[in-house]
Chain A
Amino acid sequence: MARTRTFVVHVENKPGVLNRVASLFRRRSFNIDSLNVGTTHEPGVSRMTIVCQADDDTAKRIEANLYKLVNCLRVDEITDVPSVGRNLALIKVGVDAERRAEVLQLCDVFRARPIDVGPESVVVEITGAPDKIEGLVEVLRPFGVLEMVQTGTVAMARGAQKYELGNGHHNSSSPVRAA
């Protein structure tokens, strides 16, 4: 049964690597919900968080196919390990001074922060799981949402272990052991 999966993928920060990863998902018809990429604390290493829909076999094949990319350093599926995941959204609401306090109060409930206040609008920043962000958007909608933008999920496993690059499972059969 297909369900939402989260992969953390470390790649070499080289030109075209994002294209290789995206092309792989497209070509194999793996379904991406979101893909987020950025640099890490290690020079030359980028980290992607990929959220996608896949059943057990497909998830193993996604992992195995990612490992086939020469620039891919390490793949971890963290769907079923304790982890934290966050999206970031910016929401611009069209309100004047009169109703601003009302909006800010709602934001407080959602632990969102105003980061820009103008005479006729407020920009609110919120981080959280996608459903929390959706919740805020719904309550702000009646005030008039002028525009919004959000990142895909970035995720991380809990616990103290450090990711050793090049120390993934890919040196054994484990990515493909029968589920």
Chain B
Amino acid sequence: MPDRVGETLTGAQLLWEALVREGVSVCFGYPGGAIMPAYDALPKYPIHHVLTRHEQGASHMADGYARASGKVGVCVATSGPGATNLVTGIATAMLDSIPMVAITGQVPSGLIGSDAFQETDITGVTLPITKHNYLVTRPEEIVPALREAFYIARSGRPGPVVVDITKDAQQQSCTFEWDDTPIALPGYRPDYSPLSEDLERALELINEAKRPIVFAGHGVMRGQATGRLLDFIQKTDIPVACTLLGLGGFPATHPRNLGMMGMHGEAWVNTAIQESDLIIALGMRFDDRVTGNLKNYAAEAKKIHVELDPAEINKNVRVDVPIVGDVRDVLGKLLPRVQPSDRSEWLGRIDALKGDAAVRDIKYMPDSGKLYAAHVIHDLYRFTEGAALVVTDVGQHQMWEAQYYKHDHPRKLLTSGGLGTMGFALPAAIGARFAKPDEEVWVVVGDGGVQMTACEFSTCAQEGIKVNVAIINNGFLGMVRQWQEFFYEGRYVATPMVSPDFCKLAEAHGLTGIRVTARSEVEPAVRKAQETDGTVVIDFRVEQEDAVYPMVPAGADLGDMIRRPEEPATDAKTKGPLSRALGHNPIFETGED
């Protein structure tokens, strides 16, 4: 591409020049009047544009691209309805700290404020759901605004930035200037370094603790601290619990990894948290889905909170030692000075808790001829060797995935944690696919959520890309149905859902559809999906009224879980619960995990 610095270019050209220089190679969008000058200039630039079927899809694709690659994701939309359709995806990215730049067209500057055709004050609308936003009305401002937007989106605690550009700014021309010096914004300092006195206090607590537990949050991955965390745990032998977005930040199969904490965390994890005497929280924010009732949350534990965003400290949970800084940096400073310690008593206690829970694990229950969602996910884990990039939607399937698909590597599970946005999975997976064209990408989605953004199947077809879509079809808005069962005396209001024939839907898009109704069909279906070119949709007809266990009801103490009912087993008299659970296991056709 010719270097056009110093030439007179239109605002539309400047936009793409800036994007190319920011390293953008793909963007996701949908055209319309106010952004047409930009689209008209696009073909001259080495940026692949993915035409989505809805702007919400574009925002989730940019988000999925960013989550999978660690780079800034870019989406583009026109003014008014185009811009407002991005809002859900922007809010999703905001709550999960995802670097994204959303570019919107705006009515000509002279018409702003006149309720012109397709005018929406999108900077006003997105003010509380962006890290920052810009309204650009002159071509001279386009390049600086975009440079700042990318810098703000990816630095510090990442987040989405909206750049709203008027149509006349795209049409007018000015000299293209590019300033390579680092951006200095007088009021923006994304980097914090920990205070040594705080590190000292943390070291004291860590070295004294008898029942410590480490929390691995999203910040471990975003801060590229996974290696350091592993070293830290190898040295200290402290068990690790993960948040939903932290899964994969510490290898799931590592003996010290307890799994996910919180509302649908395994019983041993939540009980261990309640019994711990020290919490070392890394890059997480004590969301209410993680803590339950704050009054009785980990009452005996001292708390160290390592977090890049000072506004998160003491927000939900009062901590003893706040350390504002980057997780990687902080772990690097603590690592040489933490002492190894004999943890056998504490680890033994946790093992005992685990044994009790394993009895109830659906994975170990005898095959009753029914297809359980947990079985599907567990099999998917086995047949993809735990190596797939899995994108989940929101609901029961999301929690089962978190429980049964063991992620050993970062950026292998993408899910909307903070906002819990149904409809996220399919478009986010398309975005992830562009970031990781060589990885096996699986969507795990409910029959409800898939229909929220099913129009993007058409995008898969047009782009000729492959994602495998596992629809966990229970005929209900499952998670809401579960709440109705537990907390509303089983009144299933507005949760039974009639769906189209998903196989035919896939075929109508020129994609492949497979239906699975029995456990024995899971493996062949997964294998066929793996072997087939192009997107494959598998309609898993699972048990309709299954529930996710354990469950901490909203607002209850973390230790107060609704436990998975213990299934009466036929050989209960001859075997103890543990051997029954862990011994010969009839549901595994292969006989092994």
Contacts and interface: CB of A to CB of B under 8 A. Distances in A.
Interface of A: 11-12, 15-16, 19-20, 23, 27, 57, 60-61, 64-65, 67-74, 165-166, 170-178
23 contacts: A16-B123, A16-B135, A19-B124, A19-B127, A20-B127, A61-B313, A64-B311, A68-B309, A69-B187, A172-B195, A173-B194, A173-B198, A173-B323, A173-B325, A176-B310, A176-B311, A176-B313, A176-B324, A177-B198, A178-B318, A178-B320, A178-B321, A178-B322
Interface in B282-332: 309-311, 313-315, 318-325
Contact of B187 (A12, A16, A172): A12
B281 to A, nearest CB: 14
Contact of B152 (A11, A70, A73, A173): A70
Contacts of B185: 70
Contacts of B195: 172-174
A132 to B, nearest CB: 35
B311 A177 contact: no
Interface of B: 123-124, 127-128, 131-132, 135, 152, 185-189, 192-195, 198, 309-311, 313-315, 318-325
Contacts of B320: 178
A173 B315 CA distance: 15
Contacts of A23: 127-128
B188 A173 contact: no
Contacts of B189: 67, 170-171
Contacts of B124: 19
B322 A166 contact: no
B187 A72 contact: yes
A178 B309 contact: no
Contacts of A178: 314, 318-322
Contact of B186 (A12, A67, A175): A12
Contacts, number: 81
Contacts of B186: 12, 73, 165-166
B192 A61 contact: no
Secondary structure at the A interface, as helix, strand, loop or mixed, is: mixed
Contact of A64 (B127, B313, B323): B313
A173 B314 CA distance: 13
B132 A70 contact: yes
Given A173-B323, A177-B322, 8 more contacts: A12-B187, A61-B314, A65-B311, A165-B186, A172-B195, A172-B324, A175-B310, A178-B321
Contacts of A16: 123, 127, 135
Chain A CB count within 10 A is highest, among B127, B311, B313, B325, for B311
A57 B314 contact: yes
Nearest to A56: B314
Contacts of A170: 189, 310
A67 B310 contact: yes
A20 B193 CA distance: 27
Contacts of B123: 16
B67 to A, nearest CB: 22
Nearest to A45: B186
Contacts of B322: 173, 176-178
Chain A CB count within 10 A is highest, among B193, B313, B322, for B313
B318 A57 contact: yes
B547 to A, nearest CB: 34
A176 B310 CA distance: 6
A174 B128 CA distance: 25
B288 to A, nearest CB: 15
A170 B191 CA distance: 10
A57 B312 CA distance: 11
B192 A173 contact: yes
A81 to B, nearest CB: 21
